Amino acid sequence: MSSDITRTSAVPRTAVDVGIDDPVERARAELKAALAAIEEKANVPRRVGRAVDRTIAKARAFQRSNPGVAMAAIVAGAAAVGAIVWAGVRAYTR
């Protein structure tokens, strides 16, 4: 979506530039900002992707600062998943 409005400052996509004097251009900018805000809120896959990226970055930073604890957490998580699967299979076969 292209825009004829030139932004002089760093204004987020979901905000309206205060320097717009023409009422028609201002209404267009408000509509564009409202649609961008709705898209940001309604685009669940993009929001999930951003959350996953943030979590991965945090996990990598934690792993770099505490490699032993990170390894122990991975082993404990794998053991927990294994125990849950084992318990599920055992309950199913009985």
With CA atoms as reference, report the closest residue to 1 among 25, 35, 24. 35
Euclidean distance between CA atoms 30 and 14, whole angstroms:
9
Quote the pLDDT of residue 71.
96
Euclidean distance between CA atoms 71 and 49, whole angstroms:
25
Interval 15-38: pLDDT, tens: 777 887 888 888 888 888 888 888
Interval 40-69: pLDDT, tens: 888 899 999 999 999 999 999 999 999 999
Quote the pLDDT of residue 9.
57
Quote the pLDDT of residue 11.
65
Q: What is the DSSP string of 22-53?
A: -HHHHHHHHHHHHHHHHHHHH-HHHHHHHHHH
Per-chain mean pLDDT for the chain: 86
Euclidean distance between CA atoms 68 and 6, whole angstroms:
51
Quote the pLDDT of residue 1.
47
